Amino acid sequence: MTWTQLLASNEVQRHKTSKKELDKLRAVIARDFADASLDGVSADGVSQLPTTPALQAAKMAIACAGYRVAGAGHHRISFEVVKLAMGKAADPYSGYFDRCRRKRNVIDYDDAFVATETEALEIVAKAKEFVNVVERWIAQNHPALKV
């Protein structure tokens, strides 16, 4: 899939981002990581929370590339198209977070006690790693938008 195809199918729109916009997304990321570390949160809850920072990080990279994901299915599309924005740097994370997204949907709508503590901790670690990869990519490719 290309940006041209995504534009034609109305899955993305052209978008000019700003440091202010990215800083707001960074605040969402920090809040959700803090929430994931609260005592008493179930493994299901902990495993859901880092999916949002990963999504926000993908959104940041996509915005830096000059686009915004639009319409239904934007979580799925974001994890797919972050590879267009970042190239190979996003490869190890794109599929992983799409699988997390699908598990999150099961937890949100269909079942309880789906995630294990080990999975939850792994998701938190992977999300933090991905956020760092995105921030390094931004610093290297869009230095005016870095932290």
pTM of the model: 0.90
Domain regions of the chain by residue span: 18-142
User: How do the pLDDT tens digits run along the chain, 147 residues long?
Assistant: 899 999 999 999 999 999 999 999 999 999 989 888 877 777 766 666 678 899 999 999 999 999 999 988 898 999 999 999 999 999 999 999 988 887 666 665 576 776 678 888 888 899 999 999 999 999 999 999 999
Four-way CATH pick for 18-142: 3.40.50, 3.90.320, 1.20.120, 2.60.40: 1.20.120
* Assigned token pair, 45: 């809850």
Which residues have a Cβ under 8 Å from the Cβ of 135 and sit 6 or more positions away?
57, 146, 147
